[in-house]
Amino acid sequence: MGQAIDRNLRLLTCSKFAAQLGTSAAFAGLVLALTDSGASPTSLGLVLTATVVVDAVATPFAGIAGDRLDRRRVMVVSDVIAAALYTALCFSHGTFSIAVLAVAATAAESFFFPASSAAVANLFRHSDLAVVSSRLSRATSLGSLLGPVTAGIVASILSPRFAFGVNAMTFLLSASVTMALRGQFQADGGDSETRQRETVATWDIVGVFRAYPAVSHFMTMWGCIQLGTGGLWVVIPTLAARLGDSDRVYTAWLTAGAVGTVLGATIVGRLAGRGRRGATLLVALGAQAAVLALMAVQMQLIWVGFLFAVFRGAQAVMGAYSYAIFQSGVPDHVRARASSWVDFVTLGAFAIGMAAAGPIVQLTGARTSLGLTTALVLVGFFAAWRLMRQRIRQHASKQAA
């Protein structure tokens, strides 16, 4: 890598670590604050669902901003507004005010991700993207590892609400890093006729789906997977409250999950640049389904923590490889919007999964919810298998031509 690329990677690695530490600390703080207030599984699920629904609704508009406006400016403005809202959360009282501010902060930060995802492919050479993705994934995983610990320390000394302050500081750091990055955040537009043709294409959603099948394929696959796994984020804190001290057990499980994510990211780094992406993706999905089934069979404190770590590790491998496949199948001028459409479907499915999990857990128990989650992840596995078979056939057709 060149000197400018190395500098950009160091800055992004630092930013990703800090941002994920703050985000995971704020998420844990939100769950702990609601749990400590006596919120039922249904209430907890509804509040978490509200943040995801708003994120899903805002994401398509974020994708438009990421393709039509200056991506650097979109990212900085998103960071600054989110920092202000998370600062306000530190001093809010009551479930309603916390929920409203959390929803608003989620909407503000949603504009960062499509622009950031689309910009990375322009800031680095395509030949370096596998290494870049691996390093950023490890930084994110380490942030996830320390975030729940940070939230637990802050909650024990001050209050869970002040975990939001950690997130506010990381957003300001992210804005500073974005301003310091060197290079183009967007590819050259080309001549006016090409720009006009691309502009029409990006507004024509059906046309984009036809031209780039990877978009609709990934929407289907991730929608099935997230519909199932969304419920897991209601089951985990519910089980933590039943099996021991909710604050300590929940943060311990989140930490174990972050350790699994670090290990998964390390595996991705070892495999970066090698072939058989589709096979690795399917193995990771199969492992997630197996782990969820085992968790449903035996729900014990240490066993659940171990299985959750394995689940998160497999999820890290799946995410990295599916992201690489997606990036290689979608060009720059529609990448932010395509990413936002995929996010819209997956976030919506995740929200539905969380909303449904609360009543299911209360009426039938956590085991039933875990069984349904396992079944839906298996549906996602089948969708991924169909996607890989189609890609193999397309590759064979090109080779024959």
3-185+205-400 under CATH 1.20.58.710, yes or no: no
Greater confidence (33 vs 274) lies with: 33
What is the pLDDT, as a whole number, of residue 287?
93
- Return the exposure string of 297-331: e unless at least 16 CB atoms fall within 10 Å of the residue's CB, then b: eebeeeebbbbbbbbbbbbbbbbbbbbbbbbeebe
What is the pLDDT, as a whole number, of residue 208?
66
Greater confidence (206 vs 232) lies with: 232
Evaluate if residue 360 carries a pLDDT over 70.
yes
What is the pLDDT, as a whole number, of residue 285?
92
Evaluate if residue 314 carries a pLDDT over 80.
yes
What is the pLDDT, as a whole number, of residue 196?
42
Evaluate if residue 199 carries a pLDDT over 70.
no
Evaluate if residue 301 carries a pLDDT over 70.
yes
Mean pLDDT over the full length of the chain: 78
Which pTM was predicted? 0.66
Evaluate if residue 357 carries a pLDDT over 80.
yes
**Integer angstrom CA distances of residue 97 from 30, 91, 213, 277:** 12, 10, 42, 45
Residues 6+ apart with CB under 8 A from 85: 101, 104, 105, 108
Sequence ranges of the domains in the chain? 3-185+205-400
Lowest mean pLDDT among 75-89, 133-147, 250-264, 364-378: 133-147
Evaluate if residue 190 carries a pLDDT over 50.
no
* pLDDT range class, residue 126, cuts 50, 70, 90: low
Which of the residue ranges 142-146, 292-296, 344-348 has the most confident prediction, judged by mean pLDDT?
A: 292-296
Evaluate if residue 33 carries a pLDDT over 60.
yes
What is the pLDDT, as a whole number, of residue 39?
67
Distance CA 1, CA 277 (A): 24
